[in-house]
Amino acid sequence: KFVRRNKLMLSLTTAAVLVIVGSLSAGLYVANRERKIAEHRFLQVRQLANKYIELDNDIRGFSGSTKVRSQIVADSLQYLTSLGSEAHMDKNLENEIALAYIRVAHVQGDPTSPNLGQFAEAEESLNKGEKFLNSVLATDPRNHDALLYSTTIAHDRMVLAYTQGRGADGLFWADKTIERMERFVSLGNPTPVENYSTTYG
């Protein structure tokens, strides 16, 4: 009797439930698709960084390799710029992009290893990497990877400044290095960062 009396109401309720279920299913599909895209981008930038470092290590000792290394740097920076615009607050991807910028900076102008002598460009790459790390640390101040990479950037900028005779800048970045290292150490004994030792051993 209830069904007969409330047939219209039940039909509308059923339709509403179906619409809600359909919307939820569509939302889950989109979320899952975006997660897979983010994971794919993460793997892309990691593979780029790994292959780039391996190739650079292989050719840096050869005569006439400067032009090739410069082209690799230019191509890598172009790719990172494109990828960075799509990071969308993805912490893992932002950390990975920052690490790639550090690696590029080391080839551009790391005074402690064979480099291209592009010191200003190296500092700019470190700057770009730091922006991604700042984004991560703004929402997750105890992020292990971001703190480690941030400490590396401060150290690299300190070395660059001292090498170029900019003592005041060097002292500033030395203080930053200590401050960031203390924050990193305060995390205790976290699991070593995967993919970091291949660059910094």
- What pLDDT, in 10s, does the model give residues 29-56? 555 666 666 666 666 666 666 666 677 7
**Higher-scoring residue by pLDDT: 60, 197:** 60
Predicted local distance difference test score (pLDDT) of residue 148: 94
pLDDT (average), residues 89-99: 86
Predicted local distance difference test score (pLDDT) of residue 123: 95
**What pTM was estimated for this model as a whole?**
0.71
Distance, in Å, from the CA atom of 134 to the CA atom of 86, rounded to the nearest integer, reads 16
Distance, in Å, from the CA atom of 133 to the CA atom of 126, rounded to the nearest integer, reads 11
The mean pLDDT value of the chain amounts to 77
pLDDT (average), residues 89-93: 82
- Tell me which residue of 72, 75, 150, 146 sits closest to 107, measured CA to CA: 72
Q: Which residues of 175-198 are buried (b: 16+ CB within 10 A; e: fewer)?
A: ebbeebbeebeeeeeeeeeeeeee
Quick one: pLDDT band at residue 3, thresholds 50, 70, 90? very low
Predicted local distance difference test score (pLDDT) of residue 198: 44
CA 161 to chain centre: 24
Predicted local distance difference test score (pLDDT) of residue 182: 93
Task: Dig out the tokens for 125 from the structure.
Answer: 């790459």
Quick one: pLDDT band at residue 79, thresholds 50, 70, 90? confident
In the chain, what percentage of residues exceed pLDDT 90?
37
Flag the least confident range among 64-78, 116-130, 171-185: 64-78
Highest mean pLDDT among 13-17, 74-78, 160-164 belongs to 160-164
Q: What is the DSSP string of the chain?
A: -HHHHTHHHHHHHHHHHHHHHHHHHHHHHHHHHHHHHHHHHHHHHHHHHHHHHHHHHHHTTSTT-HHHHHHHHHHHHHHHHHHHTT-TT-HHHHHHHHHHHHHHHHHHH-TTS---S-HHHHHHHHHHHHHHHHHHHHH-TT-HHHHHHHHHHHHHHHHHHHHTT-HHHHHHHHHHHHHHHHHHHTT-SPPPPTTTHHHH-
Q: Which residues of 67-79 are buried (b: 16+ CB within 10 A; e: fewer)?
A: eebeebbeebbeb
Given a cut of 60, whether residue 187 has pLDDT beyond it is yes
- Tell me which residue of 84, 97, 89 sits closest to 145, measured CA to CA: 97
Predicted local distance difference test score (pLDDT) of residue 201: 41
Task: Dig out the tokens for 120 from the structure.
Answer: 């200003």
